[in-house]
A and B are shown apart, each in its own frame.
Chain A
Amino acid sequence: MDLIKVENVDLGYDNHVVVKNLSFNIAEGDYLCVVGENGSGKSTLMKTLLGLNSTLKGKIEFAANFKKNGIGYLPQQTEVQKDFPAAVEEIVLSGFQGKSKGFFYSNEEKNMAKDKMQKMGILDLAKQSYRALSGGQQQLVLLARALCALDQLLILDEPVAGLDPKVAQELYEIIKKLNTEGVTIIMVTHDVNTALKYANKILHIGKSIFFGLTEEYVNSETGKHFKDYVGGCENG
């Protein structure tokens, strides 16, 4: 059963088309990695799926039982957030904002937020100030917040940008674990090797577009070419 179906969609800003004629579909429980060169439109695609941008052409269909405000979103950090005076628990709780009926958080929501923090291993940081945390801990806080908002789909935009490799690895394992628990994942990443390791589907956008299973991607022209390209960059 498809959760999201994208058909012949053009993406971009104003009248500037970034991605042309894009089609792919995501089923429940998928782990989709979106890869591609810088500026190829990965972030634009994310924002369009989240409803922050509209499509230039074509349409995106969501499954009937799909709640659009039930997307958990892990954005890239903004400048404003780096020195934001907020406690971890305040930020995690703000994930409930869309669902919250009343003006204030219920006890149930507070307990659920605690669960999510426990799950991310940051419960002991609940009262700490966000700006004093390490980059990896901050990502876990934002991930816990995303889990509060989430029903079935988690969208991550370069989740390990700026993290050291060990922390990045831990974060990837946490994301994989969420996926095995039934959460559908869409992740934008630079890191092709990680994409190949964890994802079951790959969407490559850029000069050529590829969409398919990870095994197919490895053997495709686009995949081979891009792997060489990124490998070259990393070695050089």
Chain B
Amino acid sequence: MAKLIMYLQYPFVRYAIIVGVLVALCSSLLGVTLVLKRFSFIGDGLSHVAFGGMAIASVLKMSNEMILVLPFTIVSAILLLKTGKNTKIKGDAAIAMISVGALAFGYLVMNLNPNSSNISGDVCTTLFGSTSILTLNKTEVWLSIILSLIVVVLFIIFYNKIFAITFDEDFSKTTGINVDRYNLLIAVVVAIIIVLAMNLVGSLLISALVIFPALSAMCVFKNFKMVTIASAVISVIAALVGMSVSIISSSPVGSTIVAINVIVFVVCYIIGRFEGGC
């Protein structure tokens, strides 16, 4: 405990905790919708796109990577949503394609134009986010705070619409809701969350942040509002506990948070079994 308090004296640790909690909160909010819409893997696909964008940004020696990565990921999210619907390539195949394609491309770019002597270290950091959350500067923290606020506010404002569309897209269309527009909104918000979460858990483990809290909450709770709230609470607590554990035991931040989420899921699953939910 003393060690934890000592570390909290450092601003970079406080930044990490602020951003970590916000990212956990945002990712869990939309997680419920994504899981229920059978879009669990969209996070995976987009995060690899973001990885590709990151690679390009680092080759271009850009000072603030987010400026390139964010639009790049948003455009991919929109394309992913469109291709999933209209073309012969189905949603899951499109996600898989973009996901591995961007991963390969990003790694290739990084190797062809090495910026540092330790490429595999760089790649590992981007994939697993092991240290990048501890190297955030003030601008990045503020950017994260603003983007998170936008996500939370959008989610609260459109909560009822998101519920209606998630439950029944066709019915929503017949009542006059512009479903395509809201799907677009969801895609953009997911892209923002992915880019934020890359700092925390890296691009390989983002899906875990999106789906585990939602699945845990769905095991125990039976209505949408409670599932959403519980998912957010679980995610934030798991992030806090995970970061504390990783500070005390010097374990990698991202994988520790995911491990905590897995444990919470197992507990929720067992509770759900007894209550007949899961």
Contact = CB atoms under 8 A, between A and B. Distances in A.
Interface of A: 47, 50-52, 68-69, 71, 73, 75, 78, 80-81, 84-87, 90-91, 93-95, 97-100, 103-105, 127-129, 131-132, 145-146, 149
Nearest to A155: B174
B218 interface: yes
Nearest to B228: A85
26 contacts: A50-B174, A51-B173, A51-B174, A52-B173, A68-B176, A69-B174, A75-B171, A80-B37, A80-B167, A85-B36, A85-B221, A86-B163, A87-B224, A90-B223, A90-B224, A90-B225, A93-B160, A94-B163, A94-B164, A94-B171, A97-B161, A98-B177, A103-B159, A105-B160, A128-B222, A129-B222
Nearest to B214: A85
Contact of A69 (B160, B176, B227): B176
A100 B161 CA distance: 10
A97 B174 contact: no
B164 A87 contact: no
Nearest to B276: A132
B157 A91 contact: no
B269 to A, nearest CB: 14
Given A73-B170, A85-B36, A149-B175, 16 more contacts: A50-B170, A52-B170, A52-B173, A71-B174, A73-B171, A73-B175, A80-B36, A87-B222, A87-B224, A90-B224, A90-B225, A98-B176, A103-B157, A103-B158, A103-B160, A131-B222
A127 B225 CA distance: 12
Contact of A94 (B160, B174, B223): B160
A149 B163 contact: no
A139 to B, nearest CB: 13
Interface residues of B, number: 28
B167 A84 contact: yes
B223 A86 contact: yes
Task: Give the 7 A-B residue pairs with the shortest CB-CB distance, closest first.
Answer: A98-B175, A69-B176, A129-B222, A87-B223, A98-B176, A94-B164, A97-B164
A99 to B, nearest CB: 7
Nearest to A94: B164
A93 B159 CA distance: 13
Contacts of B161: 97
B172 interface: yes
A61 B175 CA distance: 18
Contacts of B157: 103
Nearest to A145: B171
A97 B222 contact: no
A104 B160 contact: yes
B186 to A, nearest CB: 15
A85 B175 contact: no
A230 to B, nearest CB: 27
A94 B169 CA distance: 11
A94 B221 contact: no
Given A94-B163, A132-B222, A78 B168 contact: yes
Contacts of B172: 94, 97-98
B98 to A, nearest CB: 23
B168 to A, nearest CB: 7
B174 to A, nearest CB: 5
B38 interface: yes
A85 B218 contact: yes
A137 to B, nearest CB: 15
Interface in B124-164: 157-161, 163-164
Contacts of A132: 222, 276
Contacts of B158: 103
A99 B175 contact: yes
A132 B224 CA distance: 14
Interface in B225-254: 225, 227
Q: Tell me which of B161, B171, B221, B224 has the highest count of chain A C-beta atoms within 10 A of its own C-beta.
A: B171
A52 B167 contact: no
A100 B176 CA distance: 11
Given A80-B36, A99-B175, A86 B164 contact: no
